Every structure is written in C-alpha cells, then in structure tokens.
Structure 1
C-alpha cells in the first residue's frame, strides 16, 4: 500500500496526493471505514491502494496530529493569520480571536498583514509592533505592489499551512501571487459595506511548487473561543503567561484580584492594553458560558 495526504473530499471521492510521486489519485473509501464511522477529511494521512487510471481505494486513516473544526482539516502544522491593514480595516479583537484559536491547537503561527500599500509599510509596521514584541512573526504584504511575497513563500515552504482570517483581506489573491497556477476564484469587496464575500466553496489543500501544502479557508466574521476553560485562557496569550508568577494570589484570573502581576505589567506598558482588554472580554464570554452550563 501507498501513503498520501487527502487534498480534498468532494462528491464521495477523496483526492490523495502520493508522498513519493506527488501524483493525485481519485479514491473511494473502503466500506469498512464507513462502517466504523471513521471520517476522512482534507489533511488526513492515509494508506491507499492505487489502481488503474490514477484511481484507488483508501484503506486506512493514520492517527491525526490535530484536527481543526472550522474549517474541518487535519494535521495542520502552521496557521497564517491573515488580516488587511485597510479595506477591510484591521480589527484587533478578531485578530486576537484567531491567535487564541491557533494557540489552542499548538500551531506554529505567523501573522500576515496584507494591503500595506493602502497605509504605507512603515505605518503598518508601527501598528503591528506590539505583536512583533510579543514574539509573533509578522509578514507585511501587498499583491498590488509585490511587497512581501517572497517572505510569505518562505513561511509556507515545506509546511502544511492554513490561512485564517476574515473575508475580503486578500487570502486568495495572496495565494495566486505565490503560485499563479492555483487560479483561485477571488471575490470583490463591496464598496458599500466594505466586506468580502466567501469565494472558497470547500476546504482544499493546495500543493505548492516550493514544497508543502496550503488551505485557503472561508473568511470568518466571528470566532467562538468559549470552549477554552476560563482558567486556561491566560496560557494562550503569551505575553500574559510570562507574568503569572508575579501574581500574589494563585490561581489568578487577572481581572479583579489585588497585587496581580499581569495588571501591573499592563499599567507599566509591558503588556499591550488592547490585548489585555480583549483577554478580559474573552474571559467574560467563557465564564458566562460556564455559568450557563453549571446551571443546567
């Protein structure tokens, strides 16, 4: 049997990229897997039997390293959290939601700030300086002016990556700039409401000429972080987790407790105020859900 990675599942067929030849086989799934209710999705590593005409049968799904629910994709190594500096405007709360979700999956994270030509590269860098100081890798791009495309290629090279971000920020345009042969369909941003339309209709892993795979995922307008236990949220804000030992009272939620090391760091400017405020907002969302569940 051969091994490969599922690129997409569509109409009962599973398209497998062979690890050795990189040829794509159109496969059906073995009935036993259906009977055992073993689902197979994009990103899954499988064993399959090759047949004539680049067809085959998926025999077995190997264990997953991780599984993202939205979009449904397995064995992701890296999240490229993508936002635009303008059109649509950069919203830090949405960016921080995406970062928290990526942190919960223990993914390598890069931030891509697109459309920097609309504001200017130096101004965009000033806006994102707090995130670079936290330790996030930030890539600044403009498809219109060809800025940062080579750097983004290096980020994607030889990894299984997922783009995550709201509609209209240019994820598909970026992928087309990286590899024109992908020929992804792009949606325009409405002049009236400045919001993009979803243009990606199904989850698909795209094979890159530079090595690796990337998924272009539908844009999101909101992301739920309430599955994170309230006491664990602090660990998904790297700059907050660095001050946990400075709190007098443990456990500390860093919201109302006196002599809190995190609050002191915010006051001293060592933790970005907007990040801390977003942490508190997420914490409140989570606690409200925990309280509702407790009352049931």
Structure 2
C-alpha cells in the first residue's frame, strides 16, 4: 500500500498525493458503515487498482490531529480567518464564530483583513484594536496595492493552512497573488444583497511555491457550534483567561454573576465590548436551541 494525503474530494472521488504521484481513489465501503467520511487533509493508505491510470482505493485513514467541520478539512496547523473591511461589510459575530471553532481545535489563528484600500472610515483601526486586544495577530492586506502579501506568505510557509471566511472577501484573489501558479476563480460581490458570490466549489489543498499547503475552501455564511456547551464556550474566548478571579471561580460563566472579573474588565476596556457581546449572543442562542448561525 501507498501512504499519502487527500488533497481534493469531489463526488465520492478522493485525490491522494503520494510519493508515486496523484491517485484518483474511491473509499472502501466500510467507512460508510462506520459513518466515517474521508476529508481533505486526511493522511491515508491506499491500494493501487491501476497504476497506468493512477486509480486506487482508500484503505485506511490515519488518526487526525485536528478536524474542522466547516470547512471540512483535517490536519490543519493554522487558520487564516479572512474578512473584508467593507464590500461585504464585516459580520463580527460570524468572525468570532470562526475563532471559537479554531480555538476548539487548538489551531494557531491569524485574522486577515482585506480590501484595506477601500477603508475610508477608519474601520481598519477599529477591527485591529478589537482583535489585537483579544490576543490575535491581525494582518491588513490589499490585493490592489499588494500590501502585506509577503507577510501572508510567511504565515503559510511550511504549514498546512486553511483560509476561512465568507464569500466575496477576496480569499481566492489573495491566493492568486501569493502564488502566481494559482489560477483560482474569483467573483465580485453582489450589488443587490452585498454578499460574495461563491466561486470555490470544494475544499482543496494547494501546494505552495514557498513551501507548505493551503486550503482554498467554499465561502459560507453559517456555522454550527453543536459540540460546544455553555460552560465550555468561555474557554474559547482567550482574553477571558487573564481574569480568572471571579467570586464563583470556575463556575462563573461571566453573565449575571456578581463580582465577575470578566465583566469588570469589559467595563474597564481591558476586554472588547464587541467580543463580549458576541460571547453573550452565542450563550443565548445555545439556550434557545438554535442549531445554525
């Protein structure tokens, strides 16, 4: 058998990169019985059915280090969460959901803010303040002026990285700037609904000239947090960690409890009010049993 990594999956076919080349594979039926779906990024073993046509079968899926649900991809080292300064208007609640899911998988997180050449109302400084205060690296970029494209290359080098974010923010355009061998389809933002048009139809790992691989993934505007409980959620807002001396200790969920150090930090400007608002919104939605956001 050959060992390799799934770099693309379409319609039940999995394209596995090995030392002997790229193989188009089906997955063994036993995975369906076990309710296991192979993911892009999976490290796998395959049997070769036809060497001439490079056909094979996925026989085994190795243990995953990490697993994201949306985008569905495994064994990622780092996530670049990409949002535009405008066009489309940044949905910070959605951005915070991306962060929660990435924190859950213990991924390194970088916030990338695109279209900064369109910033005419100081939105960049507002967003940088929010997320740098929260403990995240923030990189502003512009595909038009090539601002900080090299910094993004440095983040990608020798890592498996996923670009995540809604449609229309310029993920594919940025990847095309990073590696001139890429010819990824890009789309404009709909004038009517102010959302991006989906141009990426499937997740795919792309090899980079600078080393490492990047996942170009379909844009989307909904995320599920079904596997996260109310008491667990606070752990994924990392800026809360510094303020762990609440009156109720570990039982405090930083909502209505008296003498809550996190709420005091919000009032004192040590924690972003916007981030705390996202946290409370998520708590309430969980209680109401909402499954999609």
Q: TM-score, normalised by structure 2?
A: 0.90
Which residue of the partner structure matches residue 119 of structure 1? Answer: 119
Shift of 1:38: 4.3
Conserved? CA contact 1:121–1:140, under 8 Å: no
CA contact under 8 A between 1:17 and 1:25: conserved in structure 2? yes
Higher helix share: 1
Say which SS state the counterpart of residue 52 (structure 1) adopts.
Answer: coil
Q: Which runs of 5+ in 1 are unaligned?
A: none
Deviation readout 1:195-253 (Å, 9 max, x if unpaired) = 11111111211122222221122222232335311011111001112212x20113111
Structure 1 pair 179–121 and aligned structure 2 pair: CA distance change class (3 A): farther
SS of 1:181's partner is coil
Q: 1:59 Cα shift?
A: 2.5
Describe the shift of the 1:160–1:193 C-alpha distance in structure 2 as closer, same or farther (beyond 3 A).
same
- Deviation of residue 126 (structure 1)? 4.7
Query: SS of 1:58's equivalent?
Result: strand
Q: Which moved more, 1:208-217 or 1:29-38?
A: 29-38
After the TM superposition, list the runs of 4 or more consecutive aligned residues in structure 1 that deviate by more than 4 angstroms: 30-38, 120-123
Give the Å deviation of 1:60: 1.6
Q: CA deviation at 1:123?
A: 5.9
Q: How does 1:183-222 map to 2 (within 5 A)?
A: 183-222=183-222
Q: CA deviation at 1:71?
A: 2.4
Which position in structure 2 is the counterpart of 1:2? 2
Aligned CA distance change for structure 1 residues 189 and 106 (closer, same or farther; 3 Å): same
Q: CA deviation at 1:173?
A: 0.6
Per-residue deviation, 1:261: 0.6
Task: Assess, with a 3 A threshold, how the Cα gap between structure 1 residues 32 and 91 changes in structure 2: closer, same or farther.
Answer: closer
User: SS where residue 162 of structure 2 aligns?
Assistant: strand
Q: In 1, distance between residues paired with 2:95 and 2:191?
A: 23
Q: Is the 8 A contact 1:64 1:74 kept in 2?
A: yes
Distance 1:33 1:257, change over 3 A: closer
Q: Say if 2:80 is the partner of 1:80.
A: yes
Q: CA RMSD in A?
A: 2.3
Residue in 2 that maps onto 1:267: 267
Q: Please give the secondary structure, in 1, of the residue aligned with 2:139.
A: strand
Match of residue 25 from structure 2: 27
Contact 1:226 1:289 in 2 (8 A): no
For residues 96 and 39 of structure 1, the distance between their equivalents in structure 2, rounded to whole angstroms, comes to 27
1:146 aligns with 2:174: no
TM-score when normalising by structure 1: 0.89
